[in-house]
Structures are given as structure tokens and as C-alpha cells.
Amino acid sequence: MINLNTSHYESRKLVSLVENRTVHTLNSAELNIFETHQQASQVMLRFSEPVLASMIKGKKVMHLENTHSFGFLPGESVILPSNELMCIDFPEAAEYNPTQCLALAFSEEKLCETVELLNNRGTKQNGKEWSMTDYNYHFTNDVAINQILQRLIFIFAEKHPSKDIFADLLIQELIIRILQTESKSIYLKKAQHDSNNDRISFIIKYIQDNITEDLSVELLSEKAYMSESNFYRTFKHELGSSPNDFIIEERLKVAESMLRNPKVSVKEAYMASGFNSFSYFCRIFKKKKNLSPTEFKEKASVMKAK
């Protein structure tokens, strides 16, 4: 999760209890930290440039144009086009427990430059070019995106003479990772409904259907009728993770789902998820979830009982 450091609280001025704004500006981007200290509804907000909004603390309910309303929780982000009108409710904000959200606005030029850079590295396996296909894309941050946002908060607030350069590089990486996250989301959906439409969706479906098997890059590349090097490069370029990392993610999803069932033991979840070492399973689970499988199961049981 993203945290605001002490320098934020030292520099910010509390002038409003609803969407109190602290702003940091660089040449090609603007970082806004919004804090709301009381319940409110139908608060309107609009940016003149594309913006990434990411929740830090508390809960919002977002009502966007041409999309359904959704609860907006810590660790989640949404990317919006310029001039998108946001209508926001704050059902849980309180004086000593404020809702906190960051909004990173960047130029259309920066977005186009980054998309062009990605296309110069290679188009998608179906021949289509990269683009921001769904501006109102709502997603859960992965570890890398969280780390970039945390780093940007620090860079925008510091007084380093080269912070514009640092921020530009990080924003470029952030946009690429969001595009790849969106691409992965699209492929995951296609794998469930139209897996024979393209090679990546077919391989994702094959991995999910054979999660307990030995899934090597050699085997998967054969299934995709591609060379190992081309398959590996294409998979990582479009999904932002290697085939092996993706397999681990899918195995962890299986384990997490099973651990939420009080009738399933940790060992049963391990066996069903396809890991070939119990110690490795426990180690990688804790690294990714910040909880051991046993701790995760106990927490899920408590949450279910409430």
C-alpha cells in the first residue's frame, strides 16, 4: 500500500475538510494529494489533462461518465482522460480518519511519447499497435506500480535539482506498466470466453486448465507454435511479466481462493495450486501477500465470521 511520508504532513495546509488539496508541480506533471475529513457526497472534480487517481486510505464511491459507479479502495487506481468529470462520495471519511487519494496528472504528449516508445519495441502479437484502449480503466495496483507511486510522492516533495528527470522516467515506466496491466486483463477475459482467438489467450487458458502440471516455457512455446525466444519475448512484452512469473501468479490465485474455504487445509491448497515445494509455496505466498498461508487463512476466517 502507498503511504504518505512525514514531509507531506509538514508541508500541507488544511484549509478544507472536503478534498483538501496539496499540490506539487513539475514541468510535465502534477501530483495532487486529496484528503477528506468528513462525510460528503456528489463532490465534483475535473482535470484538464489525463490523470491517474489512486486510493491511499479510506473509501470513495466514484461515479464516472459512461461507466458504472464503483467503490474505490486503497491499493486501487483508475486512469481517466482529460476533462473527465468525477462525481465522488465519501461514505466513511472522519476528522481523525480522513480519506486520502493521490491524483497524478500528466500531459497527453507524455502519454503519446510513451505509447510510441512501446510500439517501437514491438507491436502486439496480433499486429495491432499499443494504445490506451480503455481510459476509465479501474484496476488493483501490483507491487511495481505501488513502488513507483510511492517513489513519485517522495520525488515531487523533495528539492533535488534533477527531480524533473527522475519523475519523467518514472511516469514513463508507470504508463507502460498500466498499459501492460490492461493488456493482461483483456487477455484474461478473452481466455475465459474466446481462448482460440489468439495465441496468448490460448496459452493463458492452457495454464489455468493445467495449473498442477509441469508448465515449462518449452512446452508453452510449442503449444503456441512459436520459438521459445519469440514466445517469451512476446508474452513479457504484452503482459508485463514472464511466463514463469505469470504461472506463479495463477497458482497463488488458486491457493488464495482455496484458503478462503474453512474446510480446506493449507496443505490441500498447496497441492491444488501446483507448486512442487511446500517451503517455496510458503515463502512465495508470504512475499506476495505479506502473510503466510496460515496467517492468510486465519485472517480470511475472521473476516468471514464478521
Band of pLDDT at residue 303, cut at 50, 70 and 90: confident
Residues 119 and 221 both lie in one domain: no
* CATH code where residue 291 lies: 1.10.10.60
Band of pLDDT at residue 264, cut at 50, 70 and 90: very high
Residues 245 and 161 both lie in one domain: no
Residues 170 and 198 both lie in one domain: no
Domain termination residue (choose one: 164, 183, 202): 183
More confident residue, 134 or 244: 244
* CATH code where residue 133 lies: 2.60.120.280
CA gap 238, 223 in Å, rounded: 18
Residues 86 and 217 both lie in one domain: no
> Would you say residue 224 lies in a domain?
yes
Q: How many domains does the chain have?
A: 2
Residues 38 and 131 both lie in one domain: yes
Residues 127 and 11 both lie in one domain: yes
Residues 286 and 216 both lie in one domain: yes
Q: Output the pLDDT for position 134.
A: 64
Residues 15 and 48 both lie in one domain: yes
Q: Tell me the per-residue pLDDT of 58-100, one tens digit each, with 9 for 90 and over.
A: 999 999 987 789 999 999 999 999 999 999 999 999 999 999 9
**How many CA atoms are closer than 13 Å to the CA of 29, on its beta-carbon side?**
28
> Would you say residue 188 lies in a domain?
no
> Would you say residue 46 lies in a domain?
yes
> Domain of 227?
194-306
Q: What is the mean pLDDT of the chain?
A: 91
Q: Tell me the per-residue pLDDT of 41-62, one tens digit each, with 9 for 90 and over.
A: 999 999 999 999 999 999 999 9
Residues 178 and 218 both lie in one domain: no
Q: What is the pTM of this model?
A: 0.86
